[in-house]
């Protein structure tokens, strides 16, 4: 099928241009995977692996007999742009190797600092986009789950319920590798709690403190009537706390419906503006590596981040889980 498609893309100049872009995407994939393999080829400290990864990304002189994909200049040779497979609305025009790195995990996925521009406008302004490249992992299931989350999000918004979900993009390029859209300004809950004395609110307060003088003295997250009112509550900007409550509710329900397993603080992420989201969907439809897993992941630190069990914030969370606006 692939060969017939490539043959069909010889029929016109427009078709030939499309074929050229597909071939460039294939060369890009091979170059990225080769760079990862070079980086992880030796058992070494993560700093050494990152150094080899950066050197491989900028290499344009392949060893004799190697595939020509290694000649692809990712720093200065992409002026015409390559549509980014994980997000074709933008084209890759360069990589900043000094800002690329490997994550310290079992598979050491790479994080690329990509210079991109709108695919529809070759003269458009460049911006920075981070993309993760993974090898040794089948991302087809992650891609399916995230497509379902995107669908659920659009249905909820159609009925006026915006739960501040973060359905990032994933594309499986084979059974063994793929690209993941890297959500900016996000950290896993494990790291956030470790760096902020187990207090999620302290993390929000550090990045989005409430404006001085707004609702001064109101620190319980409620107004005089006792209704949920996050303005200036706990010294955090109102929209940040509201984002956290809404996104916690959304993902609790979605992960329950889809039977997402293997939930722990390393695959629960939170952004600086309060949006919680889940990553790593290797176990779905009730499968879980642990016996007797809970039906959803809501830990006491998350509840305390909303204000605690008796708080109006937590009551708002429960009402949103049950479908109230």
Best CA proximity match to 251, nearest among 298, 290, 182: 298
Tokens, residue 255: 């992960």
Q: Give the model confidence (pLDDT) of 284-299 as tens digits.
A: 887 777 887 777 788 8
CA distances from 26 to 12, 22, 72, 111, 170 (A): 21, 6, 11, 19, 17
Structurally, at CATH architecture level, domain 2-135 sits in 2-Layer Sandwich (3.30)
Q: How many CB atoms lie within 10 A of CB 178?
A: 24
Q: Which residue has the tokens 């060969």?
A: 3
Q: Give the model confidence (pLDDT) of 55-95 as tens digits.
A: 988 887 755 555 666 667 888 778 788 999 999 999 999 99
Q: How many CB atoms lie within 10 A of CB 277?
A: 21
Locate the domains of the chain by residue range.
2-135, 186-321
**How far is residue 104 CA from its own chain's centroid?**
16
Q: Name which residue leads in pLDDT, 213 or 60.
A: 60
| CATH topology (fold) of 186-321 | 1.10.1070
When mean pLDDT is compared over 173-187, 287-301, 311-325, the highest value belongs to 173-187
Best CA proximity match to 23, nearest among 5, 1, 37, 11: 5
pLDDT higher than threshold 70 for residue 48:
yes
Model's pTM, two decimal places?
Answer: 0.82
Best CA proximity match to 204, nearest among 160, 165, 244: 244
Question: How far is 23 from 27, CA to CA, in rounded Å?
Answer: 6
Q: Which residues contact 54 (CB under 8 A, 6 or more apart)?
A: 97, 98, 100
> Inter-axis angle of helices 312-321 and 238-258, to 10 degrees?
40
Question: How far is 109 from 50, CA to CA, in rounded Å?
Answer: 11
Question: How far is 212 from 233, CA to CA, in rounded Å?
Answer: 12
End-to-end CA, the chain:
48
Q: Give the model confidence (pLDDT) of 229-271 as tens digits.
A: 655 568 888 889 999 999 999 999 999 999 998 888 888 999 9
**How far is residue 136 CA from its own chain's centroid?**
18
């Amino acid at each position: 099928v692939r060969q017939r498609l490539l043959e069909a893309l010889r029929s016109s100049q427009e078709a030939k241009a499309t074929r050229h872009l597909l071939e460039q995407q294939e060369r890009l994939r091979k170059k990225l995977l080769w760079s990862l393999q070079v980086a992880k080829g030796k058992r070494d400290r993560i700093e050494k692996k990152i150094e080899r990864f950066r050197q491989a990304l900028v290499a344009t002189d392949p060893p004799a007999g190697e595939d020509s994909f290694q000649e692809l200049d990712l720093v200065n040779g992409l002026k015409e742009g390559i549509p980014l497979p994980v997000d074709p609305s933008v084209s890759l025009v360069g990589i900043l190797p000094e800002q690329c790195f490997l994550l310290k995990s079992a598979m050491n996925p790479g994080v690329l600092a990509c210079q991109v521009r709108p695919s529809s406008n070759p003269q458009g302004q460049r911006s920075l986009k981070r993309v993760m490249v993974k090898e040794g992992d089948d991302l087809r299931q992650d891609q399916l789950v995230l497509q379902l989350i995107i669908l659920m999000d659009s249905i909820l918004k159609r009925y006026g319920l915006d739960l501040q979900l973060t359905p990032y993009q994933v594309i499986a390029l084979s059974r063994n590798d793929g690209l993941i859209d890297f959500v900016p300004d996000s950290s896993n809950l494990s790291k956030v709690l470790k760096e902020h004395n187990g207090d999620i609110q302290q993390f929000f307060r550090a990045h989005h403190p409430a404006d001085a003088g707004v609702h001064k003295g109101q620190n319980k997250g409620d107004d005089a009537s006792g209704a949920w009112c996050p303005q200036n509550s706990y010294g955090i900007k109102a929209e940040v706390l509201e984002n956290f409550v809404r996104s916690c509710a959304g993902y609790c329900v979605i992960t329950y419906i889809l039977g997402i397993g293997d939930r722990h603080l390393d695959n629960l992420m939170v952004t600086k503006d309060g949006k919680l989201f889940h990553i790593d969907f290797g176990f779905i439809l009730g499968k879980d590596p642990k016996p007797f897993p809970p039906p959803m992941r809501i830990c006491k630190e998350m509840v305390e981040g909303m204000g605690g069990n008796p708080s109006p914030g937590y009551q708002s969370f429960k009402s949103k889980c049950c479908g109230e606006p």
